Homo-oligomer: A and B are copies of this chain.
Amino acid sequence: MRYRDENKVQAIRESAIAMVAKDGLENFGINRLAKAAGVSPATIYIYYKDKEDLLTSISIEEGLKMTTATLKGFSSDMSFKEGLWVQWKNRAAFALDNHLSAEFFEQLRNSTYKDKMVEAISDAFQSAMGNYVKNAIDRGEINEMPLEVYWSVAFAPLYSLIKFHNEGQSLGGRKFKFSEKVMKETFDCVIKGLLK
């Protein structure tokens, strides 16, 4: 018996993430991936059934990693404001520290592969955030609202900021830079809108 070389499967995974993040999902291919990972195309099919399986498997792994990072130091008993701030810091830190993973994830979230991925991850989100939001409503900190409305108001602005930062786009003349100061400024707007 021969043991599997963990360096190999890791090289495949990391190359896939980097390739999708940098060249886009539309330019991702198995032969290309094999070359980038320094591996035979056939080797990839030892670990993954096909191209779709590879992409969805990796995206679920990365998504769970992201969800976990998001919950560091978070408890559903926290006050609404404190809890949301912890979430923002965690999410921003993850997106900036692991920006290849974050961009890979974004690519898949906007693709035909998204269904299985979202399904696998929304449970973790649901169970962690459900109680937190419910507690905040019970305590009278925020109004009752659909979870989708909550997510859209509470997190979409943050991810939009990160996107502006990563893409280096600018709506004005100078280039936009994400910073703790900008994040706090945006957070203050958001929390003001959410609190009763």
The stretch among A7-15, A33-41, A83-91, A150-158 that forms the contact with chain B is A150-158
The stretch among A19-27, A72-80, A92-100 that forms the contact with chain B is A19-27
- Is B186's CB under 8 angstroms from A153's CB? yes
Chain B: CB-nearest residue to A188: B193
The prevalent SS among residues of A at the interface is helix
CA distance A26 to B145 in the complex (A): 36
Chain B: CB-nearest residue to A159: B156
- Is B148's CB under 8 angstroms from A152's CB? no
Chain B: CB-nearest residue to A118: B169
Interface centre among A25, A186, A191, A193 (most CB of B within 10 A): A193
- Is B160's CB under 8 angstroms from A147's CB? no
Min CB gap A111→B, angstroms: 5
Interface centre among A23, A107, A146, A186 (most CB of B within 10 A): A146
CA distance A190 to B186 in the complex (A): 12
Chain B: CB-nearest residue to A190: B193
In the A-B complex, the 4 residue pairs with the smallest Cβ-Cβ separation, listed nearest first, are A193-B193, A152-B160, A156-B160, A24-B112
